Structure formats: C-alpha cells, structure tokens
Amino acid sequence: MRMIYTSASPHDTSLLAQRIVRFIEPGDTLLLQGDLGAGKSHFARSFIQAMGTRQNHIPSPTFTLVQAYDDTRLPLIHADLYRLKDASELDDLDMHDYFGHGVCLIEWPERAASALPKNALTLHFSVTGENTREVELTGNAQWQKRLKLMLQPADQNRPEKDLAGFVAKHGFAGAELIPISGDASFRRYFRVKSANRSAIMMDVPAVLQDNESGLDGVIKPFLRMNEYLRQAGLWVSDVYGVDEEQCLILHEDFGDTSLYSHSPKKADPAWLAIAVEALIKLAKAKPMTTLKPFDAALMNRSVALYTDWYLPTLRGQATAPDERGRFLEAWAQLYKPMVSSPLGVQLRDYHSPNIMLLGNLPRLDNLGLIDYQDATYGPLAYDLVSLLYDARVPVEACTRNELLEHYITKTGVDAKAFETSFYLLSLMRNTRILGVFVRLAQRDGKKNYLEKIPILLPYIQEALQHPAAAPVRPWLQKVEALELAS
C-alpha cells in the first residue's frame, strides 16, 4: 500500500516531516530514496529539527556515514549508506540498538536493504515540476493506519461526516450540536439538544492514535462493554443510534456532574466508597475473557512513555537506547507479581472524570459510568488503582487504605497477592501517566495536563516502598517534577 504527498515548496516538505514526527515511536526506521535535489536532505533536516535538536547546523552524514543525536526527544541517527559495499558492513556502524529503542533516518537504504528492518517506512522523493515534489510513502498495514493519522491533523473539521443527518435519523432533527469538553484522546463529543431532551454524540476518528481503526478500536468495544456492564448491574447510558461507517454513536446524556467536577480539589470519600462498591459488583460478575489481555507487551508500552516523553523533557536530551532497554528489563521482573491477583474486566479509565453522579445522594443507583471502550482482561486491582490514585484529584492516604481493605474483605481475594498487584499497578499506571501528560502537552498542545504532575509524584513514591518494587526503585525513587514552563 502507498500514499502520495505533494509538496509545492520546501515549507510543505518541512510540514510533512513535522506531521510524521508527532507520532514517531521508538524502533521506527524511515528509508529515504530519490534523486539528488528531490528533497531528501531538506526532509531529513526538518525531521531532525522537529524531533527537538538544539543544533543550528544539521550536518550531512555523507562522510561520517552516521550522525547521532541525543538532544532530541528520542535517540536518533541519520545515516547515509551510499559508501557501503554490501549489507554486512552495516554491523560496523552500531545502528542495531536504534532499530529497537531509537529512530533511524536512512538515506541510500538500497545499499543494505537485506539488513534493514522489514517494517520500515519508505519515502521516495521525485521531482514533478520546477518547484513541486512528490513523496510516495510505502509501508506495512500498521504504517498505513499511522500515516492517515499523521497526514490528517487531529484538529481538522471532518467535513465528510453528516452529523446533522445522523442525529436527525435518530429522533433529533434540527437539534443544536454543542461541543463539550472531551478527554485526552482525539474523540470529539457534542451535546445534542432539542426543545425537550438531550443526548450525547461521540465522534470517533477513522484512525486512532494507537493505529487501530475507529470502528474496531472504539465503536464496537464501546457497544460490547455497554451491554456487558448493563448485564452486570451497573448504570451505563442507553444507546440511541450508531453509524459504523462514520464512526458515530448517539447515547443517553448523563449530565455534567462527574466525581471530578463535584469535588475537583480533593476526592469525596462518600462517593469514592460508592465507586468502590461498583467495582466489587463488577468483580463478582462473570468476566468477559475475550477482551484484549493485559500482557507484558502492554506493560512495556505503558512504562516506556516515561523514557520516551517524560525523561527527555526533564533532562533536555533523549533516553539512550541501552538505558531504555535496561529500564524495560527491570520492569519485566514486576510483571509476574503484578498479575498475581484475580483477573477480570479492567475498565482502564475508571477515575473521577468518567464516574458520573446522577443524583445528590451517594448511592450505587446514582452512579453512571462512561468511557469504557478501552477495557482489557487483567488484574482486577487496576481499576481500584485508577480510582484511589486519581491523577486529577488527590486522594488522602487514609481514605485509600480504608477502601483498599474494604474491597479485599468484600471480594475475598488473597490480601497479600492483591496488595502486591495493587501497588505495582499503581507504580506502572502513574509512571505511564507522567509520560502521557507530557505527550499531551507537547504533541497535542494540551499543556494544562502538566499542572497535574505534582499529584502523581507522591503516588509513585508510596508504591515504591513495596518490597516487590525493588527492581525499578533506582529508576524512580528520585524522579523530579517538570518545571511548568516547559
């Protein structure tokens, strides 16, 4: 599969580099092909600058063969393989660590094609006019999904979607569509308001930031979990209509009062206790074992956000490939005890913004749940961690300990194994969120998330005290807060 990008100026070529950089990941390799003067060098310089280098001069690697950068967000090498005689000489350039834990930008890749990663993205530059260039982007299926996201900015207006027609089809003809604040993803939400009733419309991008399609990654999982949670006796919204082709859902409006908006400065213990009762109810329900598993790969992707986004911002330079590798090796020792507690449905985002208060009294039938399409099958302790170590609202330690003990008593789980899982999952989740908040600020322009980082640091230090956390303690025990100006 291939995609074509047309550049009418050097600025357009720079824009292509900037768009790709926003979603670049460790292990990505970009192969640059094309004739002299077609724009490869300009793209490479723009790419390296967009990755954050502070160097004013971006030298060509023609004579050095490999130019390394460690003042970028991810460790980066820019290589020119023109002088290689065959692929065996690639071993002498020490590039392999970057294939797994860095980013590689390679010109003249055909000189060593057999030794380069098979999942690379190829960019072929062609001169099509006096000032115009054409870039053909070719990659595997995962790259094609990412390219759609990269080449179509998240803030585009999505004019191809017939929002008014969709809501009219489901009983809201002529209704007003009022944008409402969403979440940290690229989903959009609207309050659909007519004269005597309202609903919520969720608008999902065709391609998600994790390379899944909007239909398979959000729409279908949302509908499955909606029905599952209803059968489990929890309050979820009624679904009024679905358009799978446009990736739209229209569902019941639970109002504006969440656990977060109700108590944004300090968590309300009474409502927290009710939210724990909902998790106890969920723990006793028959689990949905067909969900994606909480596996070691998921854990690695989660904690790697710390080395890939948080540490580079804190230090002002990329995390070295070998350091990133050793960090993940340390975490690998935590996976087995992390999953030692009972397994079941993890809602994944069970925290204050997604717990809606549907009445004034703290009762289970006044608690409504939203945003559960990312559910996985794994340790039940995860959602309790999400709730009691809320990243937006501080939870007092005494309240957390009381509710943890209450959950253990009511569910009858093994206390020692569950507590180990609880603290290790807290460590993993909050380490991940440090990286997520920086990514939201830097990549997506949502800088307000940086203000929440001080909430997370005490959570991490508390979890590090558990004996099972010893392998990662040297990495995190001195973690510092970012300056908000960054």
Q: 305: domain CATH number?
A: 3.90.1200.10
CA distances from 202 to 114, 165, 173, 351, 444 (A): 45, 14, 17, 19, 19
156 found inside a domain = no
Per DSSP (E only), the strands in 339-443 are: 343-346, 355-357, 367-369, 376-379
Question: For residues 332 and 309, what is the distance between their CA atoms, to the nearest angstrom?
Answer: 20
- Check residue 185 and give its pLDDT: 63
Assess contact for 73 and 25: CB atoms under 8 A.
no
β 133-138/121-127 pair status: antiparallel
Question: For residues 313 and 479, what is the distance between their CA atoms, to the nearest angstrom?
Answer: 12
Q: Are residues 388 and 465 in the same domain?
A: yes
Helix residue ranges per DSSP H, 284-390: 296-305, 311-315, 321-338, 381-388
> Measured at the alpha carbon of residue 444, what is the angle toward residues 372 and 209, in degrees to the nearest 5?
45
Residue 77 φ then ψ, to 5°: -125, 140
Assess contact for 163 and 190: CB atoms under 8 A.
yes
- Check residue 209 and give its pLDDT: 60
- Give the total number of structural domains in the chain: 3
Q: What three-state secondary structure class fits 347?
A: coil
95 found inside a domain = yes
- Check residue 442 and give its pLDDT: 87
- Structural domain ending residue among the three candidates 86, 118, 151: 151
Helix (H) or strand (E) holding 432: helix 415-443
Q: Are residues 42 and 139 in the same domain?
A: yes
Question: For residues 188 and 185, what is the distance between their CA atoms, to the nearest angstrom?
Answer: 8
Q: Are residues 145 and 186 in the same domain?
A: no
CA distances from 5 to 24, 395, 480 (A): 18, 49, 41
Residue that has been written with the tokens 């280098």 in this structure: 53
Residue 190's domain spans which residues?
A: 163-252
- Structural domain ending residue among the three candidates 151, 184, 215: 151
β 66-69/76-80 pair status: antiparallel
128 found inside a domain = yes
Tens digit of each residue's pLDDT, the chain (486 residues)? 678 999 999 999 999 999 999 889 999 999 999 988 889 999 999 999 999 898 888 888 887 888 999 899 999 999 998 888 877 777 777 777 888 889 999 999 998 888 888 899 999 999 998 889 999 999 988 888 788 777 765 444 344 789 999 999 999 999 999 998 765 567 889 999 998 899 999 999 877 766 677 888 899 999 999 999 999 999 999 999 999 999 999 999 999 999 999 999 989 999 999 999 999 999 999 999 899 999 999 999 999 999 999 999 999 899 999 999 999 999 999 999 999 989 999 999 999 999 999 999 999 999 999 999 999 999 999 999 999 999 999 999 999 999 999 999 999 999 999 999 999 999 999 999 999 999 988 888 888 899 999 999 999 999 999 999 999 999 999 888 886 544
- Check residue 211 and give its pLDDT: 62
Of 208, 212, 29, the residue nearest 115 (C-alpha): 29
- Structural domain ending residue among the three candidates 125, 151, 177: 151
Question: For residues 104 and 78, what is the distance between their CA atoms, to the nearest angstrom?
Answer: 6
Question: For residues 265 and 242, what is the distance between their CA atoms, to the nearest angstrom?
Answer: 36
**pTM assigned to the model:** 0.84
Of 337, 343, 305, the residue nearest 423 (C-alpha): 337
158 found inside a domain = no
Instruction: Specify the CATH number for the domain of residue 170.
Output: 3.30.200.20
Beta bridge partners of 243: 248
Sign of CA dihedral 70, 76, 82, 85: positive
Crossing angle of the two packed helices 415-443 and 296-305, in degrees rounded to 10: 50
Q: What three-state secondary structure class fits 83?
A: coil
Burial state string for 190-227 with b = 16 or more CB within 10 A and e = fewer than 16:
bbbeeeeeebbbbbbbbbbbebebbbebbbebbbbbbe
486 found inside a domain = no
Q: Are residues 205 and 276 in the same domain?
A: no
- Check residue 16 and give its pLDDT: 94
Q: Are residues 137 and 66 in the same domain?
A: yes
Q: Are residues 128 and 73 in the same domain?
A: yes
Q: Are residues 104 and 170 in the same domain?
A: no
481 found inside a domain = no
Q: Are residues 231 and 280 in the same domain?
A: no
